[in-house]
C-alpha cells in the first residue's frame, strides 16, 4: 500500500483533530503542537485509511536558541495500530524535507518534550537528526 499526504480542508478538520488526539494520547512526544498562523497541517493516509497527522511551521527568521530558522516539525504522529510500518513516518519526514527545500531552507528540526519515549529520540537520530548541544530537547537535521 502507498502512503499519501494531503492538505487539511474545512471538510476534514474534524478528522485531523481526531488523529491529533489519538496520536498524542499514544505518546507522540512532540512539544508545541498548537496550530499557528504559518503552520501547515496534513493528514497522512495509508492506502485510503487516515493514519497520521503532520504539522510543520516555516520559521524564516531565527527567534531564539529553541526556534532556529528552518522547517519546524510541530507534530509528526501515526496511530498506534500503524506505528510498526516504518514507511509511513519515513514518507512523512521526506515530505517535510521537501517542503523545507522548496522554501529555500536548509534545516529541519523538532523539539521533543520531556515525556517523549526513548524510541522517538532514537528514531529521529537514525533519520539523521542530531541533538542540539545548547538545547538538549532540540533535534536538528541539515539538508
pLDDT of residue 85: 92
**SS3 assignment, position 142:** strand
pLDDT in tens, 31-68: 444 455 678 999 999 999 999 999 999 988 777 666 78
Question: Confidence class of residue 27 from pLDDT cuts 50, 70 and 90?
Answer: very low
For 54, phi and psi rounded to 5 degrees? Answer: -135, 130
Alpha-helical regions (H) of the chain: 13-25, 86-102, 118-126
Question: Rounded to 10 degrees, what is the CA torsion of 85, 91, 75, 66?
Answer: 120
Query: Domains, the chain, ranges and CATH?
Result: 3-142 (3.40.630.30)
Which cell goes with 13?
478538520
For 120-126, what is the mean pLDDT? 92
pLDDT in tens, 126-143: 999 999 988 888 999 999
Q: Which residues pair with 6 in a beta bridge?
A: 43
pLDDT of residue 39: 85
Amino acid at each position: 500500500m502507498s502512503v499519501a499526504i494531503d492538505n487539511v480542508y474545512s471538510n476534514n478538520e474534524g478528522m485531523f483533530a481526531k488523529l491529533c488526539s489519538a496520536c498524542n494520547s499514544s505518546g507522540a512526544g512532540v512539544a508545541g503542537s498548537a496550530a499557528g498562523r504559518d503552520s501547515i497541517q496534513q493528514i497522512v493516509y495509508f492506502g485510503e485509511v487516515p493514519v497520521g497527522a503532520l504539522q510543520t511551521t516555516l520559521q524564516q527568521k531565527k527567534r531564539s536558541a529553541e526556534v532556529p530558522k528552518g522547517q519546524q516539525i510541530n507534530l509528526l504522529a501515526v496511530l498506534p495500530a500503524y506505528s510498526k510500518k516504518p514507511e509511513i513516518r519515513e514518507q512523512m519526514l521526506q515530505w517535510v524535507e521537501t517542503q523545507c527545500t522548496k522554501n529555500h531552507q536548509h534545516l529541519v528540526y523538532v523539539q521533543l518534550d520531556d515525556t517523549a519515549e526513548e524510541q522517538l529520540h532514537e528514531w529521529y537520530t537514525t533519520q539523521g537528526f542530531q541533538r542540539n548541544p545548547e538545547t538538549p530537547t532540540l533535534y536538528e537535521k541539515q539538508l
